[in-house]
Amino acid sequence: MKTHHLLRSLLAGACLSTLAANSTQAEEKALLAIPGKLIYENALSSGLSDPWKAAKGAWDGASGSLRGSEKPEDKHGAVARIPNKLGDFVLEYEFKFEGAKSTSLSINAAKGHLARILITPQFVTIQKDDSDHEGPDKAVVFARFPSDLKPGTWHKVRMEMVGDTMLGKVDDLVAWGSHDSFKQERTSPGLTVAGQSVDFRNLKLTEAALNPAWESLRPTLPAPGSQVAAPAAPAKTKAKSN
């Protein structure tokens, strides 16, 4: 009996240690922003529901996650958005490629696009978007990292926006940049998929405040524009309204 009690105690201790380790690993190191009040959270364990709006593509449940796929007849990447107006925020989720050419986390302004984390299996791009596609505004690439994101593997995306600054993070790849256009109203955070398919899960959106340590952390990250690898060949889909 004493042996059984000892084994139970050892197993209980091991479980507690594992939970503590997992909790520590799950904590994100504060960079630009400190997350605040929860705005929206969804495990994305089934198909889309309110308040999501699917503009293009197919969005279905897939083994406990949300699968986005481009429809060939759309001749446009799949797009799904939440019609929220945003102040300063942190948005994060997980994704895995299941055959798609690319996916992105996109933030709009009241008119046009504003910012994006664009992800292909070979590259991760963090940028201010071209808002009008016809000039004079142009996209500004803060960083483009080479990557090797294999199908069937979950990866984590995080975007932070505070004031005139955004920070993008995909796994351990991190970059930031500032632009006056980021001061305007932000709206409609969205997921996009070019090709078939990408799975998504565990999306969380919170209000945010500037990290008091940001000024000391900023020099430890790549300066905007200093890490720009050659881009991958563009996907053959229209991206005007993604």
Summary mean pLDDT of the chain: 87
Per-residue pLDDT tens over the stretch 128-185: 999 877 778 899 999 999 999 999 999 999 999 999 999 999 999 999 999 999 999 9
Per-residue pLDDT tens over the stretch 149-162: 999 999 999 999 99
Report the alpha-carbon distance of residue 79 to residue 48 in Å, rounded: 12
Report the alpha-carbon distance of residue 8 to residue 71 in Å, rounded: 54
- Angle (CA) 116-164-229 rounded to 5° is 40
Q: In a 3-state reduction of DSSP, which class is residue 126?
A: strand
Mean pLDDT, residues 16-23: 37
Amino acid type, 66: L
Q: How confident is the model at residue 242 (pLDDT cuts 50, 70, 90)?
A: low
Mean pLDDT, residues 50-60: 95
Report the alpha-carbon distance of residue 53 to residue 107 in Å, rounded: 14
Domain range annotation of the chain: 27-228
Identify the CATH homologous superfamily for domain 27-228: Exo-inulinase; domain 1 (2.60.120.560)
